[in-house]
Amino acid sequence: MHFSLPSLIALISSSSAAAAAAASSSSVSSWSGWGGNIFNNRWTASKTITPSNINSLTQHCQLVYPFGVSATPVVYNNTAYYPTWNGSIVALDYTTCRVQWTVNVTAIVYNYRVPTPDVLLATFPLSRTSPQISGHVLFFGTQMHALLVAVNRHTGAFLDLIQIHSHPYAVLTTSPTVYKDTVMLGTASLEEPSALFFPNYTCCTFIGSFAAVTFPPTLNKFKLRLKWSLSMVPPGSGFSGAAVWGSQPSISPADKNKKSASVFFATGNIYSFPPQYAHCASPSANISCLPSNIYQNSILSVDISTGKVRWAYRTSPMDAFNGACVTSPIDTQGCPSEPPGPDADFAMAPVYVRRTTSPGSFSSDVVITGQKNTAVYALDANTGRPYWVKIIRPALKDVFQGGALRWGIAVDDERIYYTLGYSKVTAANVSSSIYGALELSSGKILWEKDSNTPLGKNSIALNPGTVQGDLLFVPRTGDLDGTGSFLASKGGLVVLDTKQGRRLLERELDVMFQGGIAVVGEYVLFGTGYRNGVVYDYRGTGSFHVWKVVTGRPRHGKE
């Protein structure tokens, strides 16, 4: 079915939302993108919720959706914006629990191009990314067709869209990042697990990329234009892969010492390669075995003005892996190497940390990021030189997906907070998830706590936390059953103290919890549920949750 633009607009129900400019990266009343601000640090400046009032946290409202919500909501002027796994973008006044407007993302995707049956099987016609705000505009990315879409933030009215990648299985899983008149995001692909969708599929042709798109300052004649697009491997080289998965690219703003700003992101593994580089797939291969412009398993700094790479830090020899490597038996024709690579790519973008004058601080700005093999890196933001590299679990470094650091970390001015889905090699139905903290200046492990709680005896935790004051808000994804699945279980919202990891609170939720948490003032906002028909065949519902603490007694004579 094809949707015309008038019929698409008719699908949008709207009412006016509050007007204002773009969200501040340091505001206590907003949350921007997946990472909360342009630094992607998941650290809010708000200090409203404290250890003394956290036990008053109760549910303010809950909206139920098929499959649920997993992206961290964007929050601005009492409105939360979030995508749902049934194909909508919702604007919710979270103080009154009233929906302001809803956009039908599925209609936008179909209006752009009706998907073929194979594309429908491989991807979904929806958005899974945290949106992004700039002034009167809300940006979001789609899975199917890899579209960057702009709508009016106040009404949800469609403004424009642009395709970021033309590969049929390309998807956008990063939250967009906005800097001045430019919105940036990376591209990933569901061609990597294609052997799980399509037996005998010949993999692969997708090449990861990172793009910058400009937009005008006003809504009049609004048009998105491609500024530049950077491929992660040279087209026509015989390499494929090196996707850019998430979470939200971070920004080093321009200042008196830097004439132009930089954007930081990280990349994934290789899907296929030309035969002359087969020796580079050996675990003993030199890290420089590949040409310097093969940006696999790498952290990059790129000039926002020009799209030129300022530096790239590759973390491993060639990690060659795709879905054919996990079929049973292994598809030796489709799997690029034997043994296959560990799939130890980056599933998150770096955090940008500004230099401070406090004792023990770095001598420059730094970027911090974690890899699925449990490695955490602190690099000089100007040069890419490592200050330190910490392997949290050395025994898992070369194991398939390692401990699975993914979707992000939280960083304040002292510590790096991480969720490690797997801290040791165990049976699939035995939990080994932990929450932990590293010292920012050295990478030293300060504390670790397992994810098991009185409400979850065999719990798994997969998603990053959020820092607010002395509190760390973390998701408990669910409980493993006898088969190693958590799909039918209930997750939990867990609150730890940042200094020692002491558990201060847990609230049981309706279903599994694979979302990100936004904390704004006295409110805590997040989604439950998930949708991925290949890896997580979840067919239930989930919710968008708004929770609230009691911040004080009302004055005499007033409510």
Question: Can you give the pLDDT at residue 425?
Answer: 87
Contacts of residue 238, defined as CB under 8 A and 6 or more positions apart, other chains included, come to: 272, 273, 274
Q: In terms of C-beta density within 10 A (0-12 exposed, 13-18 middle, 19 or more buried), how is residue 204 classed? A: buried
Question: Which two tokens mark 386?
Answer: 């490592």
- Mean pLDDT of each 10-residue bin along the chain, 559 residues long: 36 33 48 96 94 98 97 97 98 98 99 96 94 98 98 98 98 97 98 87 95 97 98 98 96 87 98 96 91 98 98 96 89 90 95 80 93 97 98 87 87 96 90 96 97 90 97 97 90 98 97 96 97 68 97 48
- Give the span between the Cα atoms of 177 and 309, in whole angstroms: 18
Segments forming the whole domain that contains residue 251: 5-548
- Residue 519 belongs to domain with CATH number: 2.140.10.10
Q: Which amino acid is at 36?
A: G
Q: Cβ distance 277 to 267 under 8 Å?
A: no
Q: Cβ distance 177 to 130 under 8 Å?
A: no
Number of domains the chain contains: 1
Which element (helix H / strand E) includes 38?
none
Question: Can you give the pLDDT at residue 346?
Answer: 96
How much is the pTM? 0.93
Q: Cβ distance 181 to 253 under 8 Å?
A: no
In a domain? residue 242 = yes
Question: Which two tokens mark 10?
Answer: 């008719």
In a domain? residue 43 = yes
Question: Which two tokens mark 4?
Answer: 């015309």
Question: Which two tokens mark 211?
Answer: 């793009």
Question: Can you give the pLDDT at residue 356?
Answer: 77
Q: Which amino acid is at 489?
A: S
- Give the span between the Cα atoms of 504 and 479, in whole angstroms: 20
Question: Can you give the pLDDT at residue 430?
Answer: 92
In a domain? residue 559 = no
Q: Cβ distance 127 to 137 under 8 Å?
A: no
